[in-house]
Structure 1
């Protein structure tokens, strides 16, 4: 049963290989490789990474970069550099993809997307369409029907013939495949010395892997020339920008049992009862942990600290909050404020508010004026009113890098 569940988990993962090892000479070398040039106040590759790292279906991300670009990549990617695996690419796009796929082999996904770093306008809908079309032995290619009339040129520079555009499509990325078949195709091409494939769908075709065409996106342009970079920058700079501010909520409740103190917001308060729980049962910090995790889609406190795990018996709940803070900051988040409401008839919270605020300031690494701790009774109603337990509600606001996705 365990082996089956592990296989299912692997099959459900969708990994990504982003190809970013090229020099981009046609885009102009004066400002560096095109994937690191600035558009809308950020690097091209940073926007590309953001599209995949914020997508809920995406698992591991591998970026194939040039051997000389390690420091350049980390500066461009910022906090997201720690969320991906960077590998040294090859001398061709085909070789960079192969090396990126090999980096995934030890923890192989069921499916993989392969994307050009120079396509920063890929959106969630296109990613979804591509993923949905990948089968056990079938790849997926986003593409747009060719709209222009096509002409074949003669050796003398004259029109030789008009080419029918019926059934012709312009290929885009991300291109998606079942992992093992596309890796095998790349490995076979490498060992046979075939290095002239311009995209992964061409390798799949050569390896007899069927590839389904899905609708591409007109916005998903590849930045090739210097004017493409300039137009992309103008497009982003002139568009309305909305900061990525996220708010998370948390709620927790614990019952009273015989004891001599309660722990609330990290402060031990003498009392004739204590709160029952696997850890120190700090309802305020438990609610805050859930609120912080909610801002980055990281599940809830039980996901990270299951009550069935004996190592958390009696643990200080500040451990949970600090873990959530670490996850938020790893994603580039800055905590703007935290608000906790404690709902209880007793003990009195007011005399301990300053100590609680000080404790939270240290845990969250934010100033005291960004922390609010309030208390209210339940007007003698319900389990709180009967002094059977304490409840807490928490809200956290976090600012993440970049703009809200369109």
Structure 2
């Protein structure tokens, strides 16, 4: 929307919502969905939308306490007015609150449509700034019937050109204020929405694309569905990635252990345990995903009980720690960096060994090898290095 022209918002929230049933939480605009009041979700949608200026909310005079609790962190972002006996009157009072410093355009929205999105807000605002009314709507897809006496169908109504109206409805400010004032002065209190008042007063209204998600919460079942939708949307899979790196120098010997597999070689790797660099790096990567320290935290090299220990003990312990935190190992990727021995002929055995240690399928494990192009300590065949990455999925959590 244009940056040099303010688009204000009126949110109508003075209704009693009798069709949704009574609740100690108050009218439906104050009921909790996804852990927050409907009103707060609605305010948040407009407060975060580009180009939106002032927000005025019309509330019932009995709802002052509920309003204060519902607006939360948006208290300084909104202006409250006391509404009237009808939606139409409440809208007029809110428009009058903007009249002292009139915006270029105004969007008028039902508070109980909390799923309005920035795209819809932008489409309506842009149209209103061009000098015409804007009505978001969707083509009617259901077959329409007119019922006569005793509920008997009297006519099938052609649905060609019919649309289901939504809010926010947008208008140039001064014309819609004048239309509401004229309707009030003439005693016309029977309009069902602001577009109808605009049409009556001679303001052109253009249909813009609505949104199927922009539902109005009318019945108790609507609130239940909205709560389920937001509760599910607010829980994200907590996917964490940990990295590990390890190095061991060569010493005297005739074999090395890499990723749980013993391989004949002209040297051995030196270390307090069996010096399996692959599993040591993997252990650190797994522990990192749940903030559980590193391999030295759990198996200090100063402790003699780990002298010569098979490193699968470390990897299995790390996997168990992940599971204790509710995690599920999704992937383990290890890169061995060495000039020799050759890893390729042993890759399948390594994958099988680690699948057994971690309790996951072999398709979730990758073992790769590369040389260091004769550079550095690896290139001089003084030792072997390993890099490991582990991906773990933890139970979903609410975003901070």
Q: What TM-score results when the alignment is normalised by the length of structure 2?
A: 0.58
Instruction: Tell me whether 1:187 sits opposite 2:176 in the alignment.
Output: no
Number of aligned residue pairs: give it. 238
Residues 134-184 of structure 1: CA distance to partner in whole angstroms, max 9, x if unpaired? Answer: 245410000000000000000221000100000000000000000000000
Question: Which residue does the alignment assign to 1:140?
Answer: 134
Select which of 213, 222, 235 maps to 1:219.
213
Moved over 3 A (4+): 240-243
Among candidates 65, 73, 96, match of residue 67 of structure 2: 73
Q: Which residue of 1 aligns with 2:151?
A: 157
Q: Deviation of residue 241 (structure 1)?
A: 3.9
1:103 and 2:100 matched = no
User: Which residue of the partner structure matches residue 254 of structure 1?
Assistant: none
| In 1: Cα distance, 2:399 partner to 2:194 partner | 31
Residue 228 of structure 1 is matched in structure 2 by 222
Contact 1:139 1:212 in 2 (8 A): yes
Aligned equivalent of 1:15: 8
Seen in structure 2, the aligned counterparts of structure 1 residues 196 and 403 have a Cα distance that, compared at 3 Å, is farther
Deviation digits for residues 93-118 of structure 1 (CA, Å, limit 9, x no counterpart): 00010000000001110000000000
8 Å CA contact 1:15, 1:113 repeated in 2: yes
Quote the residue 1:172 is aligned against: 166
1:232 counterpart SS class: helix
Show CA shifts across 1:239-290 (max 9, x none): 24469xxxxxxxxxxxxxxxxxxxxxxxxxxxxxxxxxxxxxxxxxxxxxxx
Q: Quick one: distance in 2 between partners of 1:102 and 1:241?
A: 41
Specify the SS of the correspondent of 1:69.
Answer: helix
- Report the structure number with the largest CA radius of gyration: 2
Q: Deviations over 1:287-317 (max 9, x none)?
A: xxxxxxxxxxxxxxxxxxxxxxxxxxxxxxx
Query: 3-state SS of the aligned residue for 2:160?
Result: coil
Determine the C-alpha separation between the residues in 1 that align with 2:73 and 2:207.
Answer: 35
Distance 2:231 2:72 in 1: 20
Q: If the length of structure 1 is used for normalisation, what is the TM-score?
A: 0.57
Match of 2:281 in 1: none
Q: Give, in whole Å, the separation in 1 of the partners of 2:129 and 2:11.
A: 21
Partner secondary structure for residue 119 of structure 1: coil
Decide whether the 8 Å contact of 2:132 with 2:205 is kept in 1.
Answer: yes
Aligned 8 A contact 1:73 1:81 in 2: no
Q: Is the 8 A contact 1:146 1:168 kept in 2?
A: yes
Partner SS, residue 86 of structure 1 = strand
Q: Paired residue for 2:40? A: 46
Distance in 2, Cα, partners of 1:81 & 1:97: 20
Q: CA deviation at 1:56?
A: 2.1
Find out whether 1:205 has 2:177 as its counterpart: no
Inter-partner Cα distance in structure 2 for 1:216 and 1:70: 32
CA distance in 1, matches of 2:151, 2:236: 49
5+ residue gaps, structure 1: 1-7, 244-401
Partner Cα separation in structure 2 for residue 209 and residue 108 of structure 1: 18
Corresponding residue of 2:19 = 26
Q: Is the 8 A contact 1:137 1:209 kept in 2?
A: no
The yes-or-no answer on 1:114 pairing with 2:94 is no
1:85 maps onto 2:79 in alignment:
yes
Indicate yes or no: 2:29 matched with 1:35.
yes
